[in-house]
Structure 1
Amino acid sequence: MTVQATLIAGTKRLTEAGVDGAPRDARLLMAHVLGMEPGRLTLVMPDEISVDHKVAFEAAIERRLTREPVSHILGYRDFYGRRFQVSSDVLDPRPETEILISEALSKPFTSVLDLGTGSGAILLTLLAEQVLAKGLATDLSEAALTVAQTNAEALGLGKRARFQQADWWAGVEGQFDLIVSNPPYIAADEMAGLSPELAHEPRMALTDEADGLMCYREIAAGVRAHLAPRGRIMVEIGPTQGAAVSDLFLAQGLKAVRVIADLDGRDRVVVAQAPNPHPRNVGK
């Protein structure tokens, strides 16, 4: 069989199983099996496919039919122009999170804390873009921290990024110019309605097993102790959580609280700033 015929057969199987984006997924899997960039796949379509490559492609299709994410089959996900290793131990970096990255990079910072880092994509992207900054990433999952450390070394950021196993603020010391987080924000009663692909990602990174706001309450409770004067905090949120998370930050005395929408117009990031501890007295 040719590469093209094998690809068509695989695409048909995914389509008949109701997998969204079947043609795209099949092309990505075929390119991965052949060890080439997807954009060059057209050049080899008429070629005969080897037995080994055909078997490997069909095995990848079988995995996708179980709704295992394509990124887990490939072993990586691209985010903000860089490649990050991913596995079932971490959430995939998602395009929507780039909204948080862009906002974080809108002002300079020298120290950053990433709470619940997962793959490390947020922290490591910020450090790669802000070359003088150093950062600390925490996560409750030891397996997730291993993935994040691997990504740090692969990107040449091992000397500027520290990793610490922690349950939110527990054991975290010092203050930071910038604090970021993409915490579990899906309510427990919403989990059953999610796409089957999410069953392959760590549940503890998706839901707080409560109302979806528990982690924000934890973050808000400790933020003032760890945010430098006029430092910024920004968290990714679910599309209905903007007002509730804003209120949590306002209750802690944070200033300039605002909600940023994503490209689809849905609330995506809440941003706030620590007050200046020594405001200028304009009356003197």
Structure 2
Amino acid sequence: MTAARDALRDAAARFAFSPTARLDAELLLAHALGVDRQRLLLTLADHDVPPAFAELVDRRARHEPVAYLTGTRAFWTIDLLVGPGVLIPRADSETLIEAAVDHFAGTAGPRRILDLGTGPGTLLLAALDQWPMATGQGVDASPVALDYARRNAAALGSAGRARFTAGDWADRITDTFDLVLANPPYIESDAALPDEVARYEPAAALFAGSDGLDDYRRIAVQLPALLTPGGVACVEIGATQGQSAAALFRAAGLSVILRRDLGDRDRCLVVTP
């Protein structure tokens, strides 16, 4: 059998296209062994490499996302089930939860939360984990995404506090919310993307017209009727959209503060009535 250390080195070399090649290899080997990554690294010398690892390496070498191969992705304080047909949660999106935490600091937190374009439940379930007394609704147009969201809510023990519905943004929503979260598509339709995104992740969750702003135009005019007094919306944007996206929400009569992510890029509009 191949030693685990050698297998990781060889796999990482095949993943040279990835900025996290070694991490990718470690996550895939841990998955093949049925252990977590921390356990793998602590006991690396004890492991032989299972046959399943070779197939995982081959698939990753074809740029298939690691999250689809392992079926999970960590986000904020939770682990989410993910797979083909859903947008993979990114650490950059945690900026929205951080912004909400700051907004509600010193209070009991939001009671009712809405997540527009919930995908596998990413933002809503992270927020419900942050505020255990809150309830929320997640909306998505994708049946695949909603199935993952419901499975994630059940796995996290949040099924009684989270409701997931099919919808076109907030078109059929008449309730108001203390916190609205949204990570809409914001990529220009002709933008070049890495293979693992362009070939594998759902286009409907990525692209938003020639300027990437189509869905912000929809959400901005819906938002004033969704927020309670003292409520806030945290809306993800692309790194070059700070001014252009914010202008749409200001035109709807809303106040906007721009928040940057850990890479010091524009990432979140903090929107209040």
Q: Return the TM-score normalized by structure 2.
A: 0.92
Aligned 1:36-75 pairs, distance under 5 A: 36-47=35-46, 49=48, 53=50, 55-75=51-71
Give the share of equivalent positions with the same residue, in percent.
Answer: 41
Give, in angstroms, the shift of residue 49 of structure 1. 2.5
Question: 2:98 maps to which residue?
Answer: 102
Seen in structure 2, the aligned counterparts of structure 1 residues 61 and 179 have a Cα distance that, compared at 3 Å, is same
Question: 1:12 maps to which residue?
Answer: 13
Q: CA separation in 1, counterparts of 2:124 and 2:252? A: 24
Seen in structure 2, the aligned counterparts of structure 1 residues 222 and 28 have a Cα distance that, compared at 3 Å, is same
Seen in structure 2, the aligned counterparts of structure 1 residues 13 and 138 have a Cα distance that, compared at 3 Å, is same
Aligned residues: 266
Aligned 1:86-97 pairs, distance under 5 A: 86-97=82-93
CA displacement 1:222-281 (0-9 Å, x = unmatched): 1122222232112000011111222111111113x110011222111011111xxxxxxx
SS of structure 2 residue aligned to 1:126: helix
Question: 1:163 maps to which residue?
Answer: 164
> Is 1:32 aligned to residue 31 of structure 2?
yes
Structure 1 unaligned regions, length at least 5: 275-284
Seen in structure 2, the aligned counterparts of structure 1 residues 157 and 189 have a Cα distance that, compared at 3 Å, is same
SS of structure 2 residue aligned to 1:210: coil
Seen in structure 2, the aligned counterparts of structure 1 residues 111 and 45 have a Cα distance that, compared at 3 Å, is closer
Give, in angstroms, the shift of residue 91 of structure 1. 1.1
Root mean square deviation, CA, Å: 1.6
Structure 2 unaligned regions, length at least 5: none
Aligned 1:171-250 pairs, distance under 5 A: 171-190=172-191, 193-198=192-197, 199-250=199-250
Q: CA separation in 2, counterparts of 1:177 and 1:63? A: 43
Give, in angstroms, the shift of residue 145 of structure 1. 0.4
Q: Which one of 81, 88, 92 corresponds to residue 77 of structure 2?
A: 81
Seen in structure 2, the aligned counterparts of structure 1 residues 47 and 224 have a Cα distance that, compared at 3 Å, is closer
Seen in structure 2, the aligned counterparts of structure 1 residues 4 and 144 have a Cα distance that, compared at 3 Å, is same
> Is 1:115 aligned to residue 112 of structure 2?
no
Question: 2:257 maps to which residue?
Answer: 258
Q: CA separation in 2, counterparts of 1:14 and 1:196? A: 13
Q: CA separation in 2, counterparts of 1:82 and 1:177? A: 22
Q: CA separation in 1, counterparts of 2:10 and 2:229? A: 59
Question: 1:281 maps to which residue?
Answer: none
Q: Please tell me whether the aligned partners of residues 259 and 266 of structure 2 are also in contact (alpha carbons under 8 angstroms).
A: yes
Q: Return the TM-score normalized by structure 1.
A: 0.89
Instruction: Tell me the amino acid that sits aligned with residue 216 of structure 2.
Output: Y
Seen in structure 2, the aligned counterparts of structure 1 residues 48 and 182 have a Cα distance that, compared at 3 Å, is closer
Question: 1:277 maps to which residue?
Answer: none
SS of structure 1 residue aligned to 2:190: helix
Identify which range, 157-166 or 23-32, moves more after superposition.
23-32
SS of structure 2 residue aligned to 1:71: helix
CA displacement 1:74-101 (0-9 Å, x = unmatched): 0000011211011122111111111110
Seen in structure 2, the aligned counterparts of structure 1 residues 139 and 39 have a Cα distance that, compared at 3 Å, is same
SS of structure 2 residue aligned to 1:83: strand
Instruction: Tell me the amino acid that sits aligned with residue 213 of structure 2.
Output: L
